Structure 1
Amino acid sequence: MRSAVGEGDGSGVWEVAVPERRYRVAGFRMAGFRDCGASAVDLKMIPQPTVMLALGFGSGSHWVDDSGGRRVPGSVVAGLGAGSRGGVRVRGGGFSGVQVRLSPLVVRAALGIAPADLDGAVVALDEVWGREAARIREQLDAASSWEQCFALTYALLAGRIAQGPCVDPEVGRVWRRILASRGVVRVEALAAEVGWSRRRLWSRFQAQIGLPPKQAANLVRFDHAVHRLAAGDGAARVAAESGYADQSHLHRDVVALTGATPAAAAGEPWLDVDPLAWGG
């Protein structure tokens, strides 16, 4: 399925494609994006509770500028929560790409790097995969359709995920509980639930997921809340129904993670494509 979204506000005009075939791999979702606008793209990256792999191809160019002034061109990997405080921007024009959202449970298997090693940063795929990054770009350049692009991406990653190392079952269980609760959960109780001490859970979870459990839960809660704001729900209602103490608590959390007020964050073009690409 293909749709178009965007305006001349820095977001560009995007063709958004999703696979027609259902790819049955846990922790693995993908969508295709093509910049069709006449003006340059300048998008603020909004943090999300997944690790993002962006496989760029085509004749255009794109890069990511981080808050430290570093420029990362081409295909990238963005760690869990990348874009915090609004300091990361995606720029360029005329490019196409397959974006893969990976659960932190499968990142080490899929990419060969632990989420903790990414530390929430954006890194060039060349640094992670070496020459294989150039090979997948060549294959995507030669593909004649989005479905071929998705099939190539799936073939690249599915085998890695199936054969790669797994996280501890206890870590996986805690992460899934955090997701199911939309981040509204007492993390201390989860340690008792899996039969671990608090210290052991904190240590193993951070090493394998990339964030401490409480910070991971806050990121999941924020992700749910900011998407509700983008859908038009009022801040007071979102705060009350998303586990925040009050509206001020929601405000502080959104500012800390995006560098913008809830109203401004809700209007960010980065969120516009989510209902089309990821089902909301």
Structure 2
Amino acid sequence: MSDHEPAWEFVQAPPRSAPGASSMVGYRAHALPDALHRGLPSSRLTFIVALDDGVEAAATEPALASVHPAPIILGGLHTTASYVHQRPAQAGVQLAMHPLAARAVFGIRAAELSVTEFDGTSFLGRWGTRLHERLTDAQDLRQAFRLVADELVRRYDPDVRDRLRPEVAHAWHLLERSRGTLPVASVARTVGLTPRHLGTLFHRELGRSPKAVAGLMRFEHATKRIANQIRTHGHADLAGVAADTGFSDQAHLSREFARYAGISPLGWVAEEFRNLEDGGHRAASGWAHE
């Protein structure tokens, strides 16, 4: 591991800090030049509240030229890389939100969230604007965590959550427990549906098929394993990661990585090496600072 000046400060909130959030991470950029960042797909929704004027994010690299900073980023289950303009002194709070909590937290299904337009103010309205304003006055990241958690607790509607089809929740749990390796036909049989019916319910709720969700989970698990090995050992055993995460071999992992991320695993590690050393990519999301 190198002794470089950290480019980022990452602070992880305690588990279960906010309803619907799988993780909450505060980030601040320090020794960071203007750069392009590749945001990886994830099985979680991306919810970012900026502590500055906003995040510049787009679904493609060319589209970045025409976007403006958004104080709130909210994105659905995208299956290809997105792109973020990283700037000096960039700061914010990023939450990886469970897609099945979208109804209860945001008042809409995850399927209704865009995977190409990420400015969340159009969905969240005055609530989102107020949340951003409150966070810009926060004294530190831990106070920002408390503000976000308080607002999400106030917004959370358990009655809306209870309208979720139990078969969808059970199927998600089975896929997640297997890290995306359980066959969809087996999942459907376990929850008492045909694969076709389960696919219809997943598309309606999540905007993705069970197979697509399983693929995201498997890719995400592999990415975390690679990131953890880089932090611990300074290098990654890609053949071992492939074997441990359900890919047939390293070549299969590389093909799937290129499909989801638009780059090889080694290329991604080269791009993200300093972020990985500084503690990035610990949370269940692949955006902005990670």
- Counterpart code for 2:111: A
* Structure ranking higher on relative contact order (CA contacts 8 Å, 6+ apart): 2
Q: Which position in structure 2 is the counterpart of 1:226?
A: 223
1:237 is aligned to 2:227:
no
Question: Structure 2 CA distance, aligned partners of 1:196 and 1:171?
Answer: 10
Q: Which position in structure 1 is the counterpart of 2:197?
A: 200
Deviations 1:164-187 (A, max 9, x none): 522211111111111111111111
Question: Structure 2 CA distance, aligned partners of 1:174 and 1:203?
Answer: 13
Structure 2 gap ranges (5+):
230-234
1:213 is aligned to 2:207:
no
Question: Structure 2 CA distance, aligned partners of 1:171 and 1:217?
Answer: 13
Change (3 A) 1:22 1:53: closer
1:109 is aligned to 2:104:
yes
Q: Determine if contact 1:182/1:221 at 8 Å carries over to the other structure.
A: yes
Deviates more, 1:151-160 or 1:118-127: 118-127
SS in 2 for 1:32: strand
Q: Determine if contact 2:38/2:84 at 8 Å carries over to the other structure.
A: yes
Q: Which position in structure 2 is the counterpart of 1:49?
A: 43
TM-score, with structure 1 as normaliser: 0.85
Deviations 1:249-270 (A, max 9, x none): 2121110001111211233429
Which of 140, 145, 153 is equivalent to 2:140? 145
Give the count of matched residue pairs: 270
Deviations 1:125-181 (A, max 9, x none): 211112222211111112222222111101111233343522211111111111111
Question: Structure 2 CA distance, aligned partners of 1:152 and 1:35?
Answer: 21
Which of 66, 73, 76 is equivalent to 2:69? 73
Deviates more, 1:228-237 or 1:19-28: 19-28
- Counterpart code for 2:178: S
Q: Determine if contact 2:46/2:96 at 8 Å carries over to the other structure.
A: yes
- Counterpart code for 1:237: G
Tell me the CA shift for residue 119 of structure 1.
Answer: 4.5
Which of 49, 59, 62 is equivalent to 2:55? 62
CA RMSD of aligned residues (A): 2.8
Q: Which position in structure 2 is the counterpart of 1:180?
A: 177
- Counterpart code for 1:197: T
Tell me the CA shift for residue 215 of structure 1.
Answer: 0.7
1:123 is aligned to 2:118:
yes
Which of 118, 129, 135 is equivalent to 2:130? 135
Question: Structure 2 CA distance, aligned partners of 1:184 and 1:35?
Answer: 36
Deviations 1:195-230 (A, max 9, x none): 112221001012112310001101100111122223
4+ aligned runs moved over 6 Å, structure 1:
5-8
Question: Structure 2 CA distance, aligned partners of 1:262 and 1:219?
Answer: 15
Which of 147, 150, 153 is equivalent to 1:155? 150
- Counterpart code for 1:81: H
- Counterpart code for 1:163: P
Q: Which position in structure 2 is the counterpart of 1:169?
A: 166
